[in-house]
Amino acid sequence: MILPSPTMSLEEASGLRLLDPARLRIWWECASLRLELLDESCHDRVSVLRAFPISKPHSHYILRDDRGREIGVIVDPKRLDRASGEAIAIELERTYFTTTIERIIKVTEQFGTIVWDVMTSRGARQFTSRDGRDHVMQPTPERILLNDIDGNRFEVTDISRLDHHSRILLRNYL
Amino acid sequence: MPRLGSARGGAMPLTRDLPTGLMDALAPLGRQDIECAVTTDITPDGRFGREWLVVTTNHLAVYSDEAAPRRRLHLPLVHLRDVQTEHLIGCGALIGTVRNERCEILRYTHRHAGTFGEVASYLRALGPHGLALARGGDAPRPEFTGDEQGERLCPNCQRPLRGTEKACQVCARQGQVVRRLAGYLAPYRWRVVLVTVLMLAALALNLTTPYLLGQTTDFALDPHHTLSYASRISHLKWYCLLMLGFGLLAQCIAVWRSRAVVQLGMSLTHDLRTILYAHLHTLSLHYFDRRQIGQIISRVTQDTQALESVLTDGVQFFLVNILQLVGITGILMWMNWRLTLLILLPVPFVFVASTLFWPKMIALWRRFHHARGKMVATVNDALSGVRVIKAFAREATEVDRFTAMSRETMISDLAAEQTWSTIFPFISYVAGLGTLLVQFVGGVSVIKGDITLGTLMAFMFYLGMFYGPLQFLSRISDFMARSTASAARIFEVLDSVPEVTEAPNPIPAKHLRGAVEFADVFFGYDRHKPALKGLTFSVRPGEMIGLVGHSGAGKSTIINLLCRFYDVNQGAILIDGIDIRKLCKNDLRSQIGVVLQETYLFNGTISENIAYARPDAPLADVLAAAKAANAHQFIISKPDGYDTMLGERGVGLSGGERQRIAIARAILHDPRILILDEATASVDTDTESQIQEAIRRLTRGRTTIAIAHRLSTLRDADRLLVMREGRIAEIGTHEELLARDGEFARLVEIQQGMSEIVGV
């Protein structure tokens, strides 16, 4: 890799900071996520984003301070201590509100829109998506993401785990 | 008598047709060798007529008047400098400088443009040699290697032959098209055999039905038959069962055949498409420059589809129909030859009428398709430019324009449909007259007792199966013509030879230092219109060179040549002292990174786009590259982050965002040589400063060649190269060039004036 200095990595050159999970601690306090970088600094009202929310939802977390400035990236959050991992999971659950479809009950086509009646991880729901393939993303052959006309996202994590009836309905409208 | 090209022991290609009169006229030149002799087709007074340009060891001469050759021009080569072709409208001129005076050597039509482009290169190359000759030196003499482009014609069809090809591709293709097509079927020969066998079986079974119906009539239905009631019922039952069985079997076979045919067709289309697409990627940019992308796309998609329909449906229907026709005629002849002759009575009419009718129908349909195409294009055009239409309040005009197109579509469609619905029933009626004749004559024979009622009934059924194939066969020539046209378009692509090819033993170049040298480079996208004229400069490893100049000065051409999208016509480009034509093409390109003016992002996620050249790069590197390119922040602010889909179905990015993704792509690619083409051309000042910062990070330590219209953006360049009309006008640092008060200073002045205007 050709860099300004032979000893400099691409990360250093770019200013990207990779955080060592072993040297940080994250916890909730007064409805605020706090981060302590050991022997260095402490941050209040930290926010967490996924760099690859679809393809790698469980790695490459980006931590930002209360003013939106990037603190660093946790490449492998599995190496976090359990309490920190759980604290981050709560924040991610809050930030990324996705709904998993468990069963498709009925699909109706109406004037260029599709109305889906589904049973989700968050209960029964009806949503409307546009016709055509624009509302569908298929990151892997098994995984489907549907966007409704308001921009909400519904996910089928694994088509093969849906029941037969749901699979057929889904296939018809993909 | 002068000898032709004897210096190299063989006749030059262009000198072999030298007329005798000219040979005689050349005799007084003594024992000099003719190095090059080419003909032009315009005389100095602008009339069509032949003139000869002859280059001997020491002289250049132009002879006019073929019958009694007269020397019009005679120049010693040592005095001839800077030979160029001048591209005029409808013709061209060969221009040289003799004793510091410009002189037109001759003129030619574009038919000879390629040849005189070669002649100009050759004469320029002779320049240093001429000098060496004048000084008594012994420099190696260049050779004229011009081909006969534009002069050789196909002996068969008189089309001009291209390059070194021996036979006209059109002629060659027509002969080979069927054999070549059959070649693509070869891997599936057993499937083809299966389909054919199934087809024959289904046909044979179908042909039995009318016969069995006839038998049923004679043995079971005929009220005058002597058989007992029980026996007739039994006959009826058995014949019906037989027909039921045969019908079911024929249906099963037909289903099997259809499935086999579909599979054959799909596999074949897939093969053709893949071969075609893979071949397209081996072709040089030259190929794409000369064609519309839409046209190429239609070859990959529609023409392969058309060819599939020929190879499967077409061949199949053709065989089925021929066999059905032959089979039925045979059976009918065997049953009753007199009645058969009656059936054949309307055949010539049906055949002739169909033959006359079809071309008319096709012309009408073509007109309709054309009109519909134009209408669709108008809609596309107008909707793409809807902002402009609204801004200029031209909605009504656009609606009028569309209405006109729609009316044209309606009229042409109407003409086609009405013609069809008028003529076709008429042809069917005449074809049906055969049936009427058979009905009458056959009826009389039945009444007389010459033939049985069953025979007549079988006859009538066979007749129903007879005229369909006949009409199809009258269309076969048109069908074949259209499919061979599709085939020809596909083969045109497959037969195209890449112009930029890998050297026989390419030099691997995994780690280049990045020293770039242009050595007397001549290049033109059309060989006779040079875009670069004798360019010589060198770039040190790690140096940043800015290219400056008006549009069309040759800046982008330098970049295209460095990437080896095209090969130079003359001279060489060296990287680390090695001619790039000898370097392994993949290695070369893997060490060159480009950030182009129009950033092309593929359908896919942002992270896939950044990692385009290094799909296996660790994701942390993708993040780092985006961060270095000042792209990280805006990417993270999107809900899907680096997984955001781009392209047709994805989100739209602004020009500046696209640029930064392209820069991130180049940073991750980590090339030794970096090319930046107008990277900040169309962005606002804030974005530009972010991009500039990203570019500074990117260019550090890399050999960089950057083009920018905004001269201020090239302030970081170590040296600037000012281009004018394919030549270097000035070269030096920003300050040096300003101090010189030349072309660059003038350009800076113009831009400052512009920004003042903008500022006001």
In chain A, which residue's Cα lies nearest the Cα of B698? A3
Mean pLDDT of chain B, nearest integer: 80
User: What phi and psi values does residue B129 have, to the nearest 5 degrees?
Assistant: -65, -40
A31 in contact with chain B, both atoms CB, cutoff 8 A:
no
pLDDT of B172 strictly over 70: no
Q: Which of A2, A10, A53 sits opposite B640 (nearest CB)?
A: A53
What six digits make up the tokens of A107?
């699909």
pLDDT of residue B161: 56
Residue B72 burial (CB count, 10 A): 16
Interchain proximity A14–B627, CB inside 8 Å: yes
In chain B, which residue's Cα lies nearest the Cα of A133? B649
Lowest-pLDDT range, A68-82, B234-248, B679-693? B679-693
Sign of CA dihedral B407, B410, B412, B415: negative
The residue with greater pLDDT, B350 or A72, is A72
- C-alpha dist (Å) from residue B639 to A33, A95, A151, B158, B636: 20, 10, 11, 63, 7
pLDDT of residue B17: 61
- pLDDT band at residue B82 under the 50/70/90 scheme: confident
- pLDDT band at residue B587 under the 50/70/90 scheme: confident
Location of each CATH 2.60.40 domain in chain A:
98-172
Interchain proximity B643–A54, CB inside 8 Å: yes
In chain A, residues 53-82 whose CB comes closer than 8 Å to chain B: 53-56, 59-60, 62, 70, 73, 75
Question: What mean pLDDT do residues A18-24 have?
Answer: 91
Lowest-pLDDT range, A147-151, B30-34, B150-154, B335-339? B150-154
Sign of CA dihedral B385, B386, B391, B392: positive
**DSSP 3-state of B470:** helix
In chain B, which residue's Cα lies nearest the Cα of A13? B628
pLDDT of residue B760: 43
Q: How do residues B426-480 score in pLDDT, each as one tens digit?
A: 877 887 787 788 888 889 988 998 888 888 888 888 887 877 777 677 667 667 7
**DSSP 3-state of B53:** strand
- C-alpha dist (Å) from residue B342 to B329, B437, B440: 12, 7, 11
Chain centroid to CA B486 = 13
Q: How do residues B201-219 score in pLDDT, each as one tens digit?
A: 988 888 888 888 888 888 8
Scan for tokens 């549009």, then name that residue: B551
pLDDT of residue B170: 58
A77 in Cβ contact with A85 (< 8 Å): yes
Question: What mean pLDDT do residues B509-528 have?
Answer: 85
The residue with greater pLDDT, B271 or B9, is B271
Q: Residues of A with CB below 8 A from B607's CB? A: 52, 55
Q: Residues of B with CB below 8 A from A133's CB? A: 649
pLDDT of residue B496: 79
For every residue of B100-136, DSSP letters joined together read TEEEEEEEEEGGGHHHHHHHHHHHHHHHHHHHHHHTT
In chain B, which residue's Cα lies nearest the Cα of A16? B624
pLDDT of residue B662: 87
Q: Which of B641, B649, B702 sits opposite A49 (nearest CB)?
A: B641
**Best to test chain A binding among B643, B645, B668 (most A CBs inside 10 Å):** B643
pLDDT of B405 strictly over 60: yes
pLDDT of residue B175: 54
pLDDT of B591 strictly over 50: yes
Q: Are strands A32-37 and A24-29 parallel, antiparallel or unpaired?
A: antiparallel
Question: What mean pLDDT do residues A3-15 have?
Answer: 57
Tabulate helix, strand, coil % of chain A (nearest 5). Answer: 20, 40, 40
> How far is residue B174's CA from residue B198's CA, in Å, rounded to a whole number?
31
Sign of CA dihedral B466, B468, B471, B475: negative
pLDDT of A72 strictly over 80: yes
Q: Residues of B with CB below 8 A from A11's CB? A: 620-621, 624
pLDDT of B134 strictly over 60: no
Q: Residues of B with CB below 8 A from A54's CB? A: 605, 640, 643
For a pLDDT cut of 70, what percent of chain A falls above it? 91
> How far is residue B628's CA from residue A10's CA, in Å, rounded to a whole number?
8
Q: Residues of A with CB below 8 A from B625's CB? A: 10, 14
Q: Which of A4, A10, A133 sits opposite B624 (nearest CB)?
A: A10
In chain B, which residue's Cα lies nearest the Cα of A76? B620
CA distance B557 to chain A (A): 27
Question: What mean pLDDT do residues B517-533 have?
Answer: 84
A4 in contact with chain B, both atoms CB, cutoff 8 A:
yes
Question: What mean pLDDT do residues B533-551 have?
Answer: 89
- pLDDT band at residue B159 under the 50/70/90 scheme: low
For a pLDDT cut of 90, what percent of chain B falls above it? 9
Scan for tokens 């003038």, then name that residue: B746
- pLDDT band at residue A34 under the 50/70/90 scheme: very high
pLDDT of A5 strictly over 70: no
What six digits make up the tokens of B299?
């070859």
B738 in Cβ contact with B744 (< 8 Å): yes
A128 in Cβ contact with A148 (< 8 Å): yes
ipTM: 0.84
pTM here?
0.68
CA angle B138, B144, B148 (to 5 degrees): 175
Interchain proximity B628–A15, CB inside 8 Å: yes
pLDDT of B627 strictly over 70: yes
The residue with greater pLDDT, B430 or B548, is B548
Chains A, B: CB pairs < 8 Å:
76
The residue with greater pLDDT, B555 or B699, is B555
Q: CATH for A98-172, among 1.10.10, 2.60.40, 3.40.50, 1.10.357?
A: 2.60.40
pLDDT of residue A25: 93
For a pLDDT cut of 70, what percent of chain B falls above it? 85
Interchain proximity B643–A53, CB inside 8 Å: yes
pLDDT of residue A172: 80
For every residue of B408-455, DSSP letters joined together read HHHHHHHHHHHHHHHHHHHHHHHHHHHHHHHHHHHHHHHHHTSS-HHH
Q: How do residues B295-351 score in pLDDT, each as one tens digit?
A: 677 777 777 877 777 776 777 777 778 888 888 888 888 888 888 888 777 778 877
Chain B residues touching chain A at CB-CB below 8 Å = 605, 607, 619-621, 623-625, 627-628, 632-633, 636, 639-643, 645, 649, 667, 670, 672, 697, 700-702
CA distance A162 to chain B (A): 25
CA distance A153 to chain B (A): 11
Q: How do residues B234-267 score in pLDDT, each as one tens digit?
A: 888 998 999 899 989 999 998 998 888 888 888 8
